[in-house]
Structure 1
């Protein structure tokens, strides 16, 4: 019995700022002239124009977490201080997104939700956002809750796979899957190249999906889940890692990551598709996690994809940055909203610490009617505009 993604909804925190603003702010915070030049170069090459944050500290000298010291440098908040803001902001964002998801998808009543699967790697709280979703939305208190923790950018796939397995085991199951990350709370102001790269790429956001085995009515596009596959690139174990330090979570992100992914991706994806009786040429839509512009360039080149194949991924990177686990769901949502054909075979790919590669094969069914990308995103507090530096963005 197949499971279906009936709807995907996305949400971001209220604060938005431009890449130019972030670049200039970071140049002011790093100390070494070489680091300032590195900030200039790296931020120019990210492919990001705007990103969102749960904190407005980046425009203030007296922020809650990040405060400018008398010598012009920035303080380093403790992990506890960062996590306290995560607990508050994640709860608010999760509840808002859950309400939005159910409001946008009229197929299910809130009383029909049987499971909540919550994925995050940027904070910890118990009771956490999954608990508050049930209490504040008035879901049944018997709803089963599961947390997919600390997996990183690929966590959407284990969460969706878990939801599909629940639905296959129980045809009456209706699963709310949510990925929520507040990466900006773990900003590490340092002259080290890996810190500068992480600060230049990561941002905050959340995405949710409603999954069940109920056959969709076909009134709006949906995904039929065909299968999932996990794979490892052991040679990349030391090149991408994520651990907890005394002053936030520490990201190890080597410049070799795009090359490592590129040198392995064709064999890995080809083998995964072959198990489904598919070839590369039979994939109509590529929903690739935009971990960075260089990663997308490598995948496009190594898989021999046409120039427009990763346009959706590049658009999400441009408008939102790398939000870790929700990001690939933003891409999948974009394909639903812009669907022009009744059917398309979709291959979704994400990467994370390890290096871990997670893939999903989905069949996108139904063409969109009267929808537009970004519709219903809501008003945001455009912090970049306050200083005259915000570019137009998604």
Structure 2
């Protein structure tokens, strides 16, 4: 990897200023000052200073936390077996839904498939599933039970397939995973799919699990934010963050003239799973850190809660995509959100083109908004555009597919996307309308 010096200033964080350096000794002041405690018998209105915590407790607190920032150690992705080329999708869709007679809707679907710039997509829905559960096709019939059953049967295996690739890339035993974070917007059950994923992978019974539900297109970035916190606050932790979605099983239905968003939604969404292993203080002997996760932030644009929504009902999930409004919303707000995320690190002074980009693509129109407002050079979002072309929008996992491609390109030629850029941004946009932003720094 290039040793070219970055024109951007280093962050004030001493640990972050040494990319992926070996851990030092003792605690790190970046975790905040010592906590205070109330002695037995104290009342809230007592005057005077509270006694400090016992030295042993403060020492334990420091020892439990990592010295350096979390790092991306490995990435893996997976898709269902059912792959349909985009130029065949409309014919397939109208045939399996027995709707060939709706020629005007079929024409609209074909037009949408051509416009979204997708080459192929992968689906959990198959003709066998539709034959076994014809109620899925009729939005007037209750089909939620069949859909949830299909998700419960398929989602853990898909998530585990992506995680197994990440673990293989990592090179350490699955039993070394200490934390598991699983994010999905496809179905819900108790216990969650995290239990089944842990079993399929052979994780220890003591692995600490966290489930995140219904974050849609921010699901992948949100899982990484939680993984970063777990890695930095638990010395030696190795966190497996997994995001898996099979939207086709939850939202597939026959064409409905009462749902005008149907052609656009069916033309762009696909299914997939992505997994990332995150850990602080990487071991020089057997780990290959790629990026530091220097900071993470989330911002919700006020008054936008109803622009992109999803609702569970008897017939599955219905989505309101607010298709025309979203690119405009991105154009009006994205620069301010990103500027606030990088301001504490002093990165904005270098300009947006001094960064590399790991962006959830959403659609080509959304990426056009990024490029126009941020005045990005051609090629800055090439990986995001490629992922959208090859897989469609898989909602939550999509940003992990982009991260996987960026990591592979950097490992292959030492630079890849963002050649010469030490700093970068991972960005996910989703319902709320919410932006998840993680500042990355390339490991040397």
State TM-score, norm by structure 2. 0.76
Partner of 2:374: 303
In 1: Cα distance, 2:230 partner to 2:344 partner = 23
Is the 2:176–2:238 Cα contact (8 Å) retained in structure 1?
yes
User: Which of the pair is proportionally richer in strand?
Assistant: 1
Name 2:396's counterpart in structure 1: 325
Contact 1:205 1:323 in 2 (8 A): yes
Partner of 1:369: none
Say whether residues 1:315 and 2:383 are aligned partners: no
Q: Which residue of 2 aligns with 1:79?
A: 144
Give 2:321's match in structure 1, choosing from 253, 256, 276. 253
C-alpha distance in structure 1 between counterparts of 2:293 and 2:277, whole Å: 12
- Residue 347 (str. 1) matches residue 425 (str. 2): yes
Query: Are 1:78 and 1:246, in contact at CA under 8 Å, matched by a contact in 2?
Result: yes
Task: State the partner residue of 1:128.
Answer: 192
How many Å separate the matches in 1 of 2:176 and 2:130?
46
Question: CA offsets, 1:189-218, max 9 Å, x none?
Answer: 322221222111111000001111132539
1:222 equivalent among 290, 300, 303: 290
Q: For structure 2, which runs of at least 5 residues remain unmatched after alignment? A: 1-67
Residues 146-191 of structure 1: CA distance to partner in whole angstroms, max 9, x if unpaired?
Answer: 1011111102222112111112211121111100000111224322
Match of 1:172 in 2: 236
Kept in 1, the 8 Å contact 2:355–2:421? The answer is: no
Partner of 1:194: 261
- The equivalent position to 2:222 in structure 1, one of 158, 168, 171, is 158
Matches within 5 A, 1:111-122: 111-122=175-186
Residue 212 of structure 1 is matched in structure 2 by 279
Asked if 1:38 corresponds to 2:108, the answer is yes
| Counterpart Cα distance in 1 of 2:332 and 2:118 | 25
Secondary structure of the corresponding residue to residue 168 of structure 2: helix
Contact 2:72 / 2:279 at 8 angstroms: preserved in 1? Answer: yes
SS at match of 1:148: strand
Which of the pair has more CA radius of gyration?
Answer: 2
- Cα offset, 1:75, TM superposition: 8.2
What corresponds to 1:336 in structure 2? 407
**Contact kept? 1:336, 1:364, Cα under 8 Å:** no
User: Which of 121, 139, 142 is residue 51 of structure 1 equivalent to?
Assistant: 121
Alpha-carbon distance, 1:129 to partner? 2.7
Task: Indicate how the Cα distance of structure 1 residues 263 and 130 shifts in structure 2: closer, same or farther if over 3 A, else same.
Answer: same
Tell me the TM-score normalised to structure 1 length.
0.85
The alpha-carbon distance between structure 1 residues 67 and 18, as it changes in their structure 2 partners (threshold 3 A), is farther
The aligned residue for residue 9 of structure 1 is 76
Separation of aligned partners in 2, 1:352 and 1:170: 29
Alignment size in residue pairs: 360
Instruction: Give the Cα separation in 2 of the matches to 1:226 and 1:62.
Output: 46
Is 1:287 matched up with 2:358? yes
8 A Cα contact 2:353 2:376, kept in partner: no
Q: Quick check: 2:135–2:143 contact (8 Å CA) kept in 1?
A: no
Counterpart of 1:145 (choices 209, 226, 237) is: 209
User: 196-205 or 25-34: which moved more?
Assistant: 25-34
Partner of 1:274: 343
Q: For 1:52-98, what per-residue CA distance to the aligned partner results, in whole angstroms no more than 9, with x for missing partners? A: 112222xx6963345798xxx89866111111000001122123223
CA shift for structure 1 position 293: 1.3
Partners of 2:129 and 2:280 in 1: CA distance: 51
8 Å contact 1:202–1:322 — kept in the other structure?
yes
> How many Å separate the matches in 2 of 1:155 and 1:63?
31
Q: Does 1:102 align with 2:102?
A: no
> CA–CA distance in 2 between the matches of 1:61 and 1:91?
18
Partners of 1:76 and 1:188 within 8 A in 2: no
Unpaired segments ≥5 residues, structure 1: 367-394
Shift of 1:114: 1.0
In structure 1, the residue matched to 2:157 is: 92
Q: CA deviation at 1:37?
A: 3.3
1:212 partner SS: strand
Distance in 2 separating the partners of 1:196 and 1:223? 38
Give the 3 Å change call, closer, same or farther, for CA 310–343 of structure 1 in structure 2: closer
Distance 1:219 1:62 in 2: 44
Alpha-carbon spacing, 1:354–1:62, altered in 2? closer, same or farther (3 Å): closer
